[in-house]
Structure 1
């Protein structure tokens, strides 16, 4: 029982940056400062405690942004496709593309916050007279 309490405390005290790194399998594609920039672009603060129910969608959008940046950086792709992976750059790009699509599918299954419902293009189309 004490072990379960400690595990829950540890999970509850994970900050957003650390949770992002878990989602990226602890791959150091960029510096923490660059990861923080990507988080901020998706309205997340790196030092906040991660709350899955309110932050998961934006965290996954951040992961997509990072993986797209990685796939667009040929030099970075060369380091990923080095001799330790036994994959070509093309194979790495294909795997990243598959991972990005899987994350997009995962995002599509997440419930939309009531705050966000009125902000989509569908709502704008009917409220602006398009």
Structure 2
């Protein structure tokens, strides 16, 4: 079974209509993905998660739009807290996936380097 990167992005966003397909395709393009290509987890997962992160980050800057789609949040503070937790989780996932060269990014930086 094959799925396009655009449809896989929508799955990661729980099929919520935050943005129209053309806007989501722009986010995919910015992360070196094509919405019409068949999704390949082995080579596209990190970029897809980065795209999800970018979409959710844009929603964190527009909580009214987010709350218009996600109705379970009674307050803006609750919505913001949820988004921040989701962004933190996504960032951890992104950092744990090896890049094309086979290395993972680290959340830790060397304090001293000789």
TM-score interval, normalised by the smaller of the two chains:
0.7 to 0.9
Q: Across the two proteins, how many residue pairs are aligned to each other?
A: 105
Alignment of 1:23-102 (within 5 A): 23-80=12-69, 82=71, 85-102=72-89
CA distance, structure 2, for counterparts of residue 116 and residue 102 of structure 1: 20
Q: Please, which of 98, 104, 112 is the counterpart of residue 91 of structure 2?
A: 104
- Flag structure 1 segments of 5+ consecutive residues without an equivalent: 1-9, 123-130
Using structure 2 for the length normalisation, give the TM-score: 0.83
- Flag structure 2 segments of 5+ consecutive residues without an equivalent: 110-114
User: Quick one: structure 1 residues 81 and 35, their matched pair in 2 at CA, closer, same or farther if it must change by over 3 Å?
Assistant: closer
User: Quick one: structure 1 residues 81 and 28, their matched pair in 2 at CA, closer, same or farther if it must change by over 3 Å?
Assistant: closer
Please report the RMSD computed on the Cα atoms of aligned residues, expressed in angstroms: 2.0
Larger Cα-atom Rg: 1
Larger RCO: 1 or 2 (CA < 8 Å, sep 6+):
2
Using structure 1 for the length normalisation, give the TM-score: 0.74
